Structure 1
Amino acid sequence: MDSIFQQDRPDIMAKYTCRIEGDKSLYPVLLSNGNLIEQGDLESKDDTFITRSGRNVSLRIWTPAEDVPKTAHAMCSLKEAMKWDEDVFGLEYDLDLFNIVAVPDFNMGAMENKSLNIFNSKLVLASPETASDADYAAILGVIGHDYFHNWISNRLVTCRDWFQLSLKEGLTVFLSSDMGSRTVKLIADDSGPEAHPVRPHSYIKMDNFYAGKFTHLSNSG
């Protein structure tokens, strides 16, 4: 990666070429974000999304081999989120590849690294034999939430300080609720112990900004 300073803002997007290497016996799977130039031996569930302008975007969900059959709903959720962003805001995905990797020991629910979203397995894997309706709804909501970070919140909401992190998270929660029922989402969030204004005056732990529920955008003041 180039070591020189480059501005990286919504209107000046820096571009990088990266290479990652590791001891295969210790790190059998290495994933990076961005468009793929070259790869080693990896396994995934693949699909394709055709954008409104006719571009083909490769979609891949990476899991242990035995979990691949449980990714069907997550893949449908991703495609629905991509279509929703196009239909509502006219925003096409801007790269040729979108990866999701699901691992059981990821300590957050999900993280929206551009073109390489990382998820805890519980928010990707589902099968009719073991998953409830709530599980399927959670996967739809979180897949959509982290996909919407690609344009709406991570580029259109730029944060001046940590207290403004809730603004972009709140906007994304608000948008992802529209993929299901906004009314049900509002009721669930307002009745929970994590409900608080979009811009809190103080915090106990930084992960409160991620885990909290910020649906009431009108409270941002």
Structure 2
Amino acid sequence: MSTNIYFTRHGETIWNTNKLMQGWKDSPLTDKGIKQAHQLSERLSDIHLNAVYSSTSKRAIDTAEIIKGDRPFEIVKLDSLREISFGNWEGKTFEENKEESPEEWRAFWETPHLFTNNSVESFVKVQERMVNIFKEIVEQHPFQDICIVSHSIALNLLMNYIEKTPLKELWSTPPIPSTSLTLIKANTNYYEILYKYDTSHMVETI
């Protein structure tokens, strides 16, 4: 019972370009982000996708709609695929948060396995919801091809689980590029990573 799961991160957004933390807040895709989504859609055009799942954040839904194209089904939108909630950090720059919460900011990036904050969602909680919904999707779609559109840290935490990497090494790999593609062959007993964060479909955009 093998399922092919294609993961991607939403296209570039306005807040991405302004280096503002989004989390559960949102901002529109840029023209570049829209072009990125169309490039990924073209790459997946020959794949018989049986379903497309998306975070309920509009930046993810808009990316998912482009990927889905004219396929005859509705996108499944799930809160469990949302980005980590940054709480009071949302809508602020990295520098602003570093100045306002220096110790917690340092822990977020240097010791993620120990990080706690009253308003920021814990890494453990995000990983738990991402892993749970991933397993549910695999069980619901045996022998099918599924695309999931989510977010950088949420997907990083899911891959962290799949690769059996300790949480303290969460930041050991570079950030996930917008609309990069990861393919996991999955069943209830094993996960095989066929490729990870691939950007070969992307050409220079504005």
Instruction: Report the TM-score when normalising by structure 1.
Output: 0.24
Specify which structure has the higher proportion of helix. Answer: 2
Higher normalized strand content (fraction of residues): 2
Query: Larger Cα Rg: Structure 1 or Structure 2?
Result: 1
TM-score normalised by structure 2 residue count: 0.25
